[in-house]
A and B are shown apart, each in its own frame.
Chain A
Amino acid sequence: MTLYMVQRCLFDHLRRLEAAGDGPKPDIVTEGYNLTDEEKRAVTEPDIGAIYAMGAHPVIINGFCRALGYKRADYRPLLESAGVATTAKGKPRWQK
């Protein structure tokens, strides 16, 4: 439906995981967010690259990946495959 609702779904899931503590980890809940089939697939599979390509906030992606047990070396292959072009351009003032 909207990027906000995808992010809300992930955010609520992370809060449920936090509340569960060391107990059984709850499955992600997609009902109530009015997600498209593709959005449901991306968050339940999960397809981190697709979530990244939708434009999800990096702090949300970070929390979701941490909960899934991904390590730092996993991000590049997971996210570069999404084919999102970097918006970073130009030479910053601190580079000689």
Chain B
Amino acid sequence: MAEIVMAYAAAHAPMMTADPGSAPRQQAENFFGALEKVRDVAKETDVQAIVMMTGEHFTNFFLDGLPQIAIGLDNEHLGPPEVWLQVPKKMVPSDAGLAAHITASLIEQGQQPALSYGMKIDHGFMTVYYWLDNSMELPMVPIVLNCTTPPLMTMQQFYDFGVTLGNAIRSYDGLERVGLVAGGGLSHFVGEPRVGDIDEEFDHWFLDRLATGDLSEILSMPNDELALAGNGTGELRAWVALAAAMGSAPGKVLSYEPVYEWINGMGVVLYDGDNAKVQA
């Protein structure tokens, strides 16, 4: 059976690859340094494939048919569509067996993910993935989440989804070492007057809770309250699902930088303890 040998969540601001030099040098070094630490963990654990969650940005779906959760089921996925992202366009390999198993297992556990063939992997994936493996050879199973178009699933619902996702990965017998990655957040504002604002107080509050593993206040938060931290901040649903998959283990905050030049609270949280496995 597969083990989740590494898990981390990271912000995916497009500017981190499109114009990385625009950030203050120390902030960029702290953020990218955290991603380098994650890359070292991936090498140390010899991860065979990753499963990655991020928000849907109308790259794959639009308002005529927008699933809350969709899984890419192909052997490979094309990314990124954004030519300005400064990430080479490539067919990124996946592990179709793992993707199919996750989908079937989620449905058995009561989830209702949409199926997607031909999924494209945009900046939500590629910014973070490119830093993990700039050869882009590490197989990646993509999962997109609706984080911006109401009615939205709550944090509690994404926590519950994450528990079942963790179960699904661990019950796969085709691989031994799988990584789990969440992209998105932290606080940011998109397509509205407050573009450029960052709610640093929220970001610290959120990260503090991930660091303790006590998510109760996050999970009880209504969607409209979460939106007060920014209309893009709901991408943290992926982070909550990841924490749930790891059994609410305390996360290690590797970095936090409010990078105003990138209009985004930039953070990285790494999980090296798999509570869900320990408790099983």
In chain B, what residue has the closest Cβ to A75?
B195
Complex Cα gap A60–B191 (Å) = 8
In this complex, the interface size class of chain B, counting residues with CB under 8 Å from chain A, is 20 to 34
Complex Cα gap A83–B192 (Å) = 12
Q: Is the CB of A59 within 8 A of B190?
A: yes
Shortest CB distance B200–A (Å): 10
| B residues 156-198 touching A (CB-CB < 8 Å) | 190-196
Contact partner, B193, options A22, A79, A92, A96, Cβ 8 Å: A79
Grouping DSSP codes into helix (H, G, I), strand (E, B) and loop, the B interface class, with mixed when no group exceeds half, is: loop
A90 contacts B by Cβ under 8 Å: yes
A7-B63, A11-B62, A93-B225 known; A76 and B194 CB under 8 Å? Answer: yes
Kindly list chain B residues whose C-beta atoms are within 8 Å of the C-beta of A24.
none
Q: Is the CB of B202 within 8 A of A63?
A: no
- Apart from the given pairs A57-B191, A63-B58, 7 other A-B contacts in the complex at a CB distance below 8 Å: A4-B63, A52-B192, A75-B191, A75-B194, A76-B193, A93-B217, A94-B205
Kindly list chain B residues whose C-beta atoms are within 8 Å of the C-beta of A80.
193
A88-B228, A94-B229 known; A11 and B148 CB under 8 Å? Answer: no
Chain B residues packing against A (C-beta within 8 Å): 57-58, 62-64, 81-83, 148-149, 190-196, 199, 201-202, 205-206, 217, 221, 224-225, 227-229, 231-232, 263
Q: Is the CB of B149 within 8 A of A76?
A: no
Chain A residues packing against B (C-beta within 8 Å): 4, 7-8, 11, 18, 21-22, 52, 57-63, 65, 72-73, 75-76, 79-80, 87-88, 90, 92-96
Which of B63, B193, B224 has the most A CB atoms < 10 Å from its CB?
B193
- What are 15 A-B contacts with C-beta separation under 8 Å? A8-B62, A8-B63, A57-B149, A58-B190, A59-B57, A62-B195, A72-B195, A75-B193, A76-B194, A79-B192, A90-B228, A92-B225, A92-B229, A94-B201, A94-B206
For chains A and B in complex, what number of residue pairs have CB atoms within 8 angstroms?
Answer: 79
Complex Cα gap A48–B163 (Å) = 41
A72-B263, A95-B201 known; A22 and B83 CB under 8 Å? Answer: yes
Shortest CB distance B265–A (Å): 12
A52-B192, A80-B193 known; A57 and B229 CB under 8 Å? Answer: no
Shortest CB distance B99–A (Å): 25
In chain B, what residue has the closest Cβ to A64?
B191
Complex Cα gap A96–B227 (Å) = 17
Complex Cα gap A87–B150 (Å) = 14
A63-B58, A72-B196, A94-B206 known; A58 and B201 CB under 8 Å? Answer: no
Shortest CB distance B61–A (Å): 11
Complex Cα gap A7–B3 (Å) = 43
Contact partner, B196, options A11, A58, A73, A90, Cβ 8 Å: A73
The 6 lowest CB-CB distance pairs between A and B, nearest first, are A58-B191, A61-B191, A94-B205, A75-B195, A62-B191, A72-B196
A73-B196, A75-B196, A94-B205 known; A59 and B191 CB under 8 Å? Answer: yes
Shortest CB distance A21–B (Å): 6
Kindly list chain A residues whose C-beta atoms are within 8 Å of the C-beta of B191.
52, 57-62, 65, 75
Q: Is the CB of A59 within 8 A of B58?
A: yes
Q: Is the CB of A62 within 8 A of B190?
A: yes
A61-B192, A62-B191 known; A18 and B227 CB under 8 Å? Answer: no
